[in-house]
Amino acid sequence: MSILDRFKLDGKTALVTGGGQGIGRGLALALAQAGADVAIMDLNEETANKVAQEIKEIGRRSLVYIGDVTVSKDCNNAVEMIINKWGKLDIAINNAGIGNWFDAENYPEEEWQKVIEVNLKGVFLCAQAEARVMIPKKCGKIINIASMSGHIVNKPQNQTAYNASKAGVIHLTRSLAAEWAKYGIRVNSISPGYIRTPLIDSEPVKKMVPEWLKMIPLGRLGEISDLQGIAVYLASEASDYMTGADIIIDGGYTVW
């Protein structure tokens, strides 16, 4: 087998949560371009269906499950749908996430809880559902989307819940990797830096971009395409000896 063949995902099936837009959409399309059939789990039916259609235009099969990653029944049902339709689940990217900004001393409890529920609990519930069907076949690739915010404290925005949740995702990934290695399941995470998505052009985010750029050695925002290659690598046979790792893709932000 050639080295390029090891990156191919032909015959594989995948689930991407939060796959209806932004980074999730980009990663779903990357898996499809590498040969995988890809199911989308999202809250937004319209955008999820659009991405599913894009996947089909690539020549791959796609499914859509409209559900909430904070609800274990939804996570289980999404996986069950894939098993019923395709017979197996090989790859999962747990990408769904949210964020908000508040000064810590005035952080509303309900807003804090909302971020932790989606970003940390949601990743765990999805990974749990995914692993249950991967364990019997003794293989699988789970990729959790964390953030450079799990390693550093961003500025000037105050986002303690987001930072804490993403640090939790990184250590959750290590913990699951250690537990599930005996089943042949590899669990890794990706920690993006500032990535250009529609959110970047919104207020008040837009006005912070010039300050962020000063702190990025490569001098630019990341593009969704900058994350696609590593996602395919972690989903493929090329990464079979890698588990429990977190890969930071931030243009060098965390080295300063």
d(CA 25, CA 192): 15
Domain enclosing residue 212, as ranges: 5-245
What's the number of CA atoms in the CB half-sphere (13 Å) around residue 253? 26
Is 251 part of a structural domain of the chain? no
Looking at residue 138, its amino acid is K
Is 256 part of a structural domain of the chain? no
d(CA 32, CA 13): 9
pLDDT in tens, the chain (256 residues): 899 999 999 999 999 999 999 999 999 999 999 999 999 999 999 999 999 999 999 999 999 999 999 999 999 999 999 999 999 999 999 999 999 999 999 999 999 999 999 999 999 999 999 999 999 999 999 999 999 999 999 999 999 999 999 999 999 999 999 999 999 999 999 999 999 998 888 888 999 999 999 999 999 999 999 999 999 999 999 999 999 999 999 999 999 9
Assign residue 146 the CATH number of its domain.
3.40.50.720
Domain count, the chain: 1
Q: How many C-beta atoms surround the C-beta of residue 149 within 10 A? A: 23
Is 118 part of a structural domain of the chain? yes
CA dihedral 138, 144, 173, 222 (to 10 degrees): 130
Is 168 part of a structural domain of the chain? yes
CA-CA-CA-CA torsion sign (85, 30, 96, 201): negative
Is 67 part of a structural domain of the chain? yes
Active site residues: 147, 162, 166
Is 255 part of a structural domain of the chain? no
Is 73 part of a structural domain of the chain? yes
Is 254 part of a structural domain of the chain? no
Instruction: List own/partner pairs for 30-34 with CB under 8 A and 24 or more apart.
Output: 30/228, 30/229, 30/231, 30/232, 31/91, 31/93, 31/231, 31/232, 31/235, 32/58, 32/60, 32/62, 33/58, 34/7, 34/8, 34/9, 34/232, 34/235, 34/236
